Structure 1
Amino acid sequence: MKKYLFLLLMASSASAAFAQTGKEPYYTRSLSNDGIKKVFLNTSGGSLLVSGEGKEAPHIDVFVVGNNGREYTKDEIKKRLEQDYILDIDIHNGELHATAKSRRNNMDWRQSLSIGFKVYVGSQTSTNLNTSGGSITLKSLNGSQNFETSGGSLSVANITGNIKGETSGGSITVTDSRNNIDLETSGGSITAARCSGNIKLETSGGSLNLTDLKGHVSAETSGGSIEGNNVDGELITSTSGGSINLMKIAGSVNAETSGGSVHVQMDKLGRYVKLETSAGHIDLLVPQKAGMDVSLHGNRVSFNVNGDFQGRKDKDDVVGKVNGGGTTVEVNGSSNVNVSTR
């Protein structure tokens, strides 16, 4: 076991890099000989980053800045850490544990320090990260990633494995990642691009932007619009406060909104298409010669699809089979419903 109580290490200036601002690390330690496979980071007031890109030798950086905008000297930071904080680094059996926390529960935020970690390791690394006052960034890792922040954004790029992250106060961006993705925010938008696998995205206060996704995608927002482009597989998405625009969709889709219109362009039909809005119109484009079982309902229904139709067409309802039947197409709108061939 290698345990480094941070306050004791500060006396060894040869192994540390000091700075008066957060632009440079307050402390740096090499991890090249430790074979790190798991990273555990916990801080109450700073941002966290773990990268397996391999652009830098394995090491950990510690950043310390004042929350009130003041730039502290090295001696001032040392004194504040000794008086008010517990800060240590523990390494054993391929695990890195870095913790920063206040000794006092009632510290004035304006007088407190923000302590963050940046860790550079090999790509085959799992993480468990927690901060109540900063953003979290993960890059180029393969393994199980669990992370949570109460006050910042989440950024996930090139991650393979089980990915579970949550923030109560920021946006989420996930790109070039795969397998199992589960991300949630209570206060920001979500952008997902070039991802595959089982993807679950949820926000209570922002928009959804979905691009180049493949697999099973569940995306939900309570307060924004939904934009999707080039989604292949099964897409289940809903919003209580915005419009839905989906382009180049292949497979099955279930899209619902209580506060806007719905526009969907299907490149290829899967098992079903289900669209619904309580406060707008619906436009659906389907491929040529598609076999469908259609059930369309709205204030006024326009149905212009090439092929053999058998069933009933009324002003506000169209029910029947197209080209012998096939994909279930259910559309329910409060206004105009337009279904046509691409």
Structure 2
Amino acid sequence: RDFYKILGVPRSASIKDIKKAYRKLALQLHPDRNPDDPQAQEKFQDLGAAYEVLSDNEKRKQYDTYGEEGLKDGHQSSHGDIFSHFFGDFGFMFGGTPRQQDRNIPRGSDIIVDLEVTLEEVYAGNFVEVVRNKPVARQAPGKRKCNCRQEMRTTQLGPGRFQMTQEVVCDECPNVKLVNEERTLEVEIEPGVRDGMEYPFIGEGEPHVDGEPGDLRFRIKVVKHPIFERRGDDLYTNVTISLVESLVGFEMDITHLDGHKVHISRDKITRPGAKLWKKGEGLPSFDNNNIKGSLIITFDVDFPKEQLTEEAREGIKQLLKQGSVQKVYNGLQGY
């Protein structure tokens, strides 16, 4: 099997590319989403096998050198385990909406965890691995008292008259105990993700001894950046230049979030507070990563801190040939 072809990635693909490809295809190829495809299970298993090998550096080296036959231990991981690594015990309910809650089945509490991400991760995307100890219900010796299941009983009292009562139909269940199991979850930070967005992992919340576990939701919290400020898909930053540069022009580079350089060249006067828009140098849109916002640069001018000599003052007056333009007015008018 060509694992690179199965994942749709080149042989030079990074681990980030491989994870992204698996996550996308796993949702598309999951057998529950393709009940009419007799090959759905096989395709899903091939996808899991491809991910397991190519996401492991040692196995990938063996595969690249000797092919699938050269893998020493085989790839025996459950493909359901790989899927739950990205989506939780039950994965996303297909269609992008959380699972429908059956009111007759008790659920454990949901857990919401703030996940701090950097602006660099918002710009380029990333995968964050989270390791947690999850309480899991396991069978234990003996029986226990319960009220885990109830049914509605309808009794006819007369013509056109009925009475509905709730009746316990189960009063004894196998005993269970809660044990902590280490779980590794992979959270994809998608480019352009917004503050407050949540990534759900179904069934990864608090357990319930008589029902289903709740959900675990990671809530995105974008941390402040020392250079850039985010407003929607636009990025804002300030640049300080000297008085000389503000008058005669300048050139400089700004290092962007992914390390590429944004070149600035000014050959005209730059006033304090002047703004420069660089289209397409903002953050990618969450809905369409091919569209990016703008980078808005505000210029500050650093004036000389030492007093000018009389000769220097006269020289500036002669050079600029600018008379007095003193004017008092309401600068807040219109706000």
Higher strand share: 1
Shorter-chain TM-score tier: under 0.3
The structure with more radius of gyration: 2
Q: Which has the higher contact order (CA 8 A, sep 6+)?
A: 2
